[in-house]
Amino acid sequence: MAGLGGQPIIIIDPEKSRTTGRDAQSANIMAARTIANAVKTTLGPKGMDKMLVNSVGDITVTNDGAAILQNIDIQHPAAMMMVEISKTQEKEVGDGTTSAVVLAGELLGQAEKLIELDVHPTVIIKGFRLAAEKAQEILESNAIEITAEDAETLRNVALTALSGKGSEMALDDLADLTINAIQSIADDEEVDIQHNIQIIHQRGGSIKDTHLIKGMVIDKARAHKNMPKSIKNAKIAILDVGIEVQKTTMSAKIKISTPDELDEAYSDEYQTIKEQVDSLIASGANVVVTEKGIDDISLHYLAKNNILAIRRVKEGDLKKIVRATSALIRSNAMDVSPEDLGNAELVEERGIGNYKMIYFEGCDNPKAVTILVHSGADFITDEVDRALDDALNVVKVVLNEDKIMFGGGAPEIEVAMQLKEYASSLSGREQLAVVAFADAMEGLPRSLTENSGLDPVDILVKLRAEHKNGNNTVGLNVLTGEVMDMKDTSVIEPLKVKIQSIKSATDAVAMILRVDDVFASKYTGLMDVKPEHRIDNYDGIEAPDIGDDY
């Protein structure tokens, strides 16, 4: 741009690129839809898997949308927003990540058509938000309430989440295991899967060997080789301090002038340690777990009395053992009483070579449990892990929300049909956006149909006809290829998963459509950090210069 007297005024650094207007919108939409199309083929029980290979050659084989998007290298900012959709969906409800991303892609495809018709993006966004709110009302009105005692429905929810995720050969076993794990840790408060259920991988065997341990498994070994490997009818003492001579809080010197005085000093230390071990023995403990260390003298006394000790256990694992065994944590070995001890039918060290783990099994009413996943390959075990995590989370969501829906594309078709009726009540251009939202909702059952090798046109026509006649639970049984009432199947999904996928997709699409100008810096390989943002001058506090040698 020229200034006064023909002097050029540089507004934008020539080394930086800029995309504006329709070009910016088209580029953002294309990038986001590319990501959605990449995961679309994984949707449903018959969806395909993706193989991800990282820079060192490690392989991940999965059809989990969140895992795929988090492991691929994405550069475009609009595409990164799609990754955020999957993260939000995973964090909030634990499943439905692929559906949320695919729906966002369908919405952007419909929005692009409207933009070509000169419908302003803000009008499209307003219409999409109206449609999302109406869709939520429709879903809630068609949801079915259940109770925590309805074990069969909960099992079907788990089966639906597990389907198509590399675990078909043990689908029923894994569904039962999921329900047992949830029921074991459930109490009057919210189910805490993150802290009370851990999934451990065990190389060898097959998926069908995966089982639930009513207790905990920790990645530790015995503190001393002379200790017993196995303790039956274990009485477990939990300490958050070490069994060792405590150092004084103040520096002190002891002047020793004769060997007898040295022997006396050592004797006092031995006596202190022995008193701690004797106190543990008197309490009836035959297993001791500490968060801190155990010195050699203590190990000697513990091993001599056939006590299995485990030291330097992580705080998180220590708390899980407490929840599993009903033990109480004590901060002094001298304070441990019989009432403080946890119980387990068996505490045992198992493993091959240097790789050992300690098993706490047969706990009475454990509030923390372990799922031991067996497989012949790590990438298979990882996929079963992800499938179990999804199943556990959706069952948790149903227990918390008490509302479910029949799947097979039935909810999406019903929402699409009612949204088109709702659109006719609107007078502005938002009507076009609501109809577009309805068409995008039909994109989910269309993808489900295509991934099953069926004709989407025929299936969608049949589904629309059934729903027009008031059969709002009719969907596609992808296993048989039939359009049928999904009440006669085990395909059940939580209401919250459906609602959250609509919310996540709508918010992300609105953000992408509002962008009409993209500035991009030329990549130099170095961060262009302002002086006031450097780490040595952070928050206005300048760090001292320590030179090059430090």
Map 444-504 to HEC letters.
HHHHHHHHCCCCHHHHHHHHHHHHHCCCCCEEEECCCCEEEEHHHCCCEEEHHHHHHHHHH
Q: Does the pLDDT value for residue 330 go beyond 70?
A: yes
In a domain, 546, yes or no: no
Residue bearing the bigger pLDDT, 263 or 283: 283
Could you read off the pLDDT of 185-207 as tens digits, one per residue?
887 667 788 888 998 888 778 88
Q: What sign does the dihedral 539-540-546-549 (CA atoms) show?
A: positive
Both 326 and 378 in one domain: the answer is: no
Both 98 and 232 in one domain: the answer is: no
In a domain, 224, yes or no: yes
Both 351 and 444 in one domain: the answer is: no
Prediction pTM value: 0.80
Task: Give the model's pLDDT for residue 70.
Answer: 83
Both 380 and 359 in one domain: the answer is: no
Both 224 and 311 in one domain: the answer is: yes
**Which residues belong to the active site?**
64, 97-98, 390
Q: Across the chain, how many H-helices and E-strands are there?
A: 17, 19
Both 172 and 295 in one domain: the answer is: no
Contact 360, 327 (CB under 8 A): no
Task: Give the model's pLDDT for residue 272.
Answer: 77
Both 359 and 227 in one domain: the answer is: yes
Average pLDDT of span 166-188: 85
Both 228 and 121 in one domain: the answer is: no
Average pLDDT of span 444-450: 93
Q: How many domains does the chain have?
A: 3
For residue 191 the two structure tokens come to 């189910």
Q: Can you give the CATH number for the domain in which 114 is found?
A: 1.10.560.10
Both 73 and 177 in one domain: the answer is: no
For residue 50, what are the domain limits? 20-145+406-518
Both 286 and 318 in one domain: the answer is: yes
Nearest to 486 by CA among 407, 391, 402, 417: 407
